[in-house]
Amino acid sequence: MPKTSRRQPLIWETLADSSAAAMAEPAGAVAESPGKLHLTIVRAFGLKHQNHFVGDAPYCVCTAARADKNPKVSKCRTKSLQNTLQPEWNEDHVIDPWNVGEALEFEVFDEGILSARSSGKASLASEQFYPQGFSGELELRDAPVGARLYVRIHAVKHAANAALRLSAAPTASLQAHALPSNFASHMNALASPPPSHSSRQMEAHTGSDAREAAMEENLGKLSVAIISATGLQSNNHFEGDSPSCVCQAVRGDKRAKPSKVETKALHKTLSPVWNEEHEIDPWNVGEALEFILYDNALHRPYEGRAIIPSDVFFPHGFEGELDLVPVDGAKLRVQIAPFGCDLHPEGTDSDPNVSCLTVEIHAYQRQQKGIEQNALAVSNRIRHFKKEEERVWRDLEQVRRQAAKIEEGRSRLAERELAEQAISSFKEKRHVANREYVKKHRDDGKITKAINTQEILTRRHSNADAQRSVAEDLQRKKQQELAQHSMIRSEKVSVMQRDRAEATLRLSQARSERLANMRRDREAVARRERAETQKKQCEARIPDLEEEELQCLQRLQHSRQVTMTVMRQLDEHFGPDNSTVANLLRSKTQQTLRQSQLQAGLSARSLGSPRSPYSPSSAR
Domains and CATH numbers, the chain: 33-156 (2.60.40.150), 221-338 (2.60.40.150)
**Percent of the chain at pLDDT above 90?**
23
pLDDT of residue 22: 39
Q: Is the pLDDT of residue 100 over 90?
A: no
Chain centre distance of CA 436: 79
Considering only residues 350 and 145, tell me which one the structure prediction assigns the higher pLDDT.
145
Q: What is the average pLDDT across 92-104?
A: 88
**What is the C-alpha separation between 272 and 335, in angstroms, rounded?**
16
pLDDT band at 127 (very low <50, low <70, confident <90, very high): confident
Rounded CA separation 138/113 (Å)? 28
What digits encode the pLDDT tens for the residues 597-610? 777 666 656 555 44
Q: Which residues fall within 8 angstroms of residue 403, CB to CB, at 6 or more apart?
A: none
Q: What percent of the chain has pLDDT over 70?
A: 73
Q: Which of 37, 65, 261, 57 is nearest to 151 (CA)?
A: 37
Least confident of 94-108, 376-390, 577-591, 597-611: 597-611
Position 65 pLDDT exceeds 90: no
Predicted local confidence at residue 360, as pLDDT: 56
pLDDT bin (cut points 50, 70, 90) of residue 6 is very low
Beta-bridge partners for 37: 95
Contact (CB, 8 A) for 593 and 616: yes
pLDDT for position 614: 43
- Which carries the bigger pLDDT value, residue 397 or residue 164? 397
Alpha carbon 438 to its chain centroid, in Å, reads 77
Query: Could you please report the per-residue DSSP string of 384-444?
Result: HHHHHHHHHHHHHHHHHHHHHHHHHHHHHHHHHHHHHHHHHHHHHHHHHHHHHHHHHHHHH
Nearest to 148 by CA among 302, 44, 40: 44
CB atoms within 10 A of CB 321: 14
Three-state secondary structure call for residue 50: coil
Q: Within a 10 A sphere around the Cβ of 216, how many other Cβ atoms? A: 14
Distance, in Å, from the CA atom of 73 to the CA atom of 91, rounded to the nearest integer, reads 20
Say whether pLDDT at 151 is over 90: yes
pTM attached to this predicted model: 0.30
pLDDT of residue 2: 39
CA 597 to CA 605: how far, in whole Å?
Answer: 12
* Residue 7 CA: distances (Å) to CA of 145, 291, 379, 533: 58, 48, 21, 139
Query: Closest by alpha carbon to 109, among 74, 61, 167?
Result: 61
Q: What is the pLDDT of residue 42?
A: 93
Classify residue 502 as exposed, middle or buried by CB count within 10 Å of its CB (0-12, 13-18, 19+).
exposed
Cis status, amide bond into 97, omega within 30 of 0: yes
Q: Can you tell me the distance from the alpha carbon of 84 to that of 400, in angstroms, rounded to the nearest whole number?
A: 51
Question: How confident is the model over 425-442, as pLDDT tens digits?
Answer: 899 998 899 988 988 888
In this predicted model, what pLDDT tens digit does every residue of 192-229 receive, in sequence order?
433 333 344 444 444 445 555 555 555 578 899 999 99
581 — pLDDT class (breaks 50, 70, 90): low
Could you tell me which of 149, 77, 86, 146 has the C-alpha nearest to residue 116? 77
Q: Which of 9, 28, 5, 8 is CA-nearest to residue 18? A: 9
Least confident of 115-119, 168-172, 602-606: 168-172
Does residue 555 register a pLDDT over 60? yes
Residues in the chain: 620
Indicate if the pLDDT at residue 473 is higher than 70.
yes
Amino acid at 371: I
Average pLDDT over the chain reads 76
Q: What is the pLDDT of residue 300?
A: 61
User: Distance (Å, rounded) from C-alpha 309 to C-alpha 479?
Assistant: 112
Closest by alpha carbon to 109, among 67, 79, 139?
A: 79
As separate numbers, helices (DSSP H) first and strands (DSSP E) second, the chain gives 9, 16
Q: Is 326 exposed, middle or buried (0-12, 13-18, 19+ CB in 10 A)?
A: middle
pLDDT digits 0-9 by tens, 52-64: 777 889 999 999 9
Q: What is the pLDDT of residues 70-81, one digit of tens each?
A: 567 788 999 999
Amino acid occupying residue 361: I
